[in-house]
Amino acid sequence: MKNFLPAILIAALCLPAGLAYSAEAAKKAPTLMNPPPTAQDWADIAKLPDWSGVWNPKITDQDAQVKTNPPPWNEVAKKKIEQMFAEEKAGRPRLIFHSCLPEAHPTWMLVTHNAMEILFTPGRVTMLGESDGNRLRRIYTDGRGHPDVSDPTLHGHSIGHWEGQTLVIDTVDILPQAPLAVSEAAGVSNNGDMRVVERIYLADKDIMHVELEIFAPKILTKSWKTTRIFFRQRARKFEITEGVCVLGDLAERVDADGDHVFVPVEKTIWGNIVSTPK
């Protein structure tokens, strides 16, 4: 027994540490992100509202809201926005979405001029923009929370849940460079700590409302509530098209080898094309 005593003492001393380690390990254990969906998972999707089809933004309402419901900009941001509006009016519009960057979240929802489609699969809702200027959002509806360690992206980390027929989304971890824009020529970097809460639902058979509350403490004096409208026209004969933004910088040509190639076009600092290569 004497011989066992040291071992027992060591074990007794180590036990709390071992338990703590186990708890820590369990906490950090990787979660199964994409479990194989069950038949019930797919059946549950059939109970969700019909959001299929091509959704177009109501641009005339976007235009109107610039005047009727502007963001509560702080003093610094307001000055920048006023200057941008003045420059735009003078024919020198600021290129907010330069370098083919996505409009990012929530600006995609606010000012896009392109269509989108929305896909439901088990555990997530996916929004696909027509042009890669607005691109892609993944909204996790599998009950997960936001990550412990922030890994900011242009569209942030979105988790959602259904309240009846309304999808409620909470988005954090948006890159500080992502602009909060009210038009294609007026917007400022959010500068960090932005959070967006959305409630998306069908206001009518073919009308979708996206209610947003935007918390951007570095550029707004208080949260900004606004709604954007999307519509679909079931009778229309079109699909979403592939839209690769950088192709706008290139012309389709055939080189000396007979190969089909892309050749740069000439553009101004405002983004419009000046000339194309021969």
Partner 1 sequence: MKQMLKSAGAILAVCGLAAGVSSVAAHHSTTMFDHAKTMTIKGEVVELRWVNPHVSLSVNGLVGDGTTPEVWLMEMTSPGNLMRAGGWRRDAVKPGEKVEVTFSPLRDVEKKGGALKRLLVVATGETFTASIRDQERPGIE
Query: Interface with partner 1 by CB under 8 A: which residues?
Result: 56, 58-60, 88-101, 103, 113-115, 130-133, 183-185, 231, 233, 235-238, 240-241, 243-252, 255-257, 263-277
Nearest CB to partner 1, comparing residues 12 and 235: 235
Nearest CB to partner 1, comparing residues 108 and 224: 108
Nearest CB to partner 1, comparing residues 23 and 86: 86
Cα→Cα distances 202→4, 165, 167, 206, Å: 71, 8, 10, 7
Nearest CB to partner 1, comparing residues 37 and 264: 264
Of 136, 200, 130, residue with least CA distance to 170? 200
Q: Which residues contact 54 (CB under 8 A, 6 or more apart)?
A: 115, 116, 117, 232, 233, 236, 238, 239, 240
Measured from the CB of residue 53, what is the shortest distance to partner 1 in angstroms? 13
Nearest CB to partner 1, comparing residues 31 and 60: 60
Measured from the CB of residue 25, what is the shortest distance to partner 1 in angstroms? 47
Q: Cβ-count burial of 134 within 10 angstroms (0-12 exposed, 13-18 middle, 19+ buried)? A: buried
Q: Give the DSSP letter of residue 64.
A: H
Measured from the CB of residue 129, what is the shortest distance to partner 1 in angstroms? 10
Measured from the CB of residue 67, what is the shortest distance to partner 1 in angstroms? 16
Measured from the CB of residue 126, what is the shortest distance to partner 1 in angstroms? 19
Contact 223, 235 (CB under 8 A): no
Of 164, 49, 181, residue with least CA distance to 108? 181
At 92, list the tokens: 């020198």
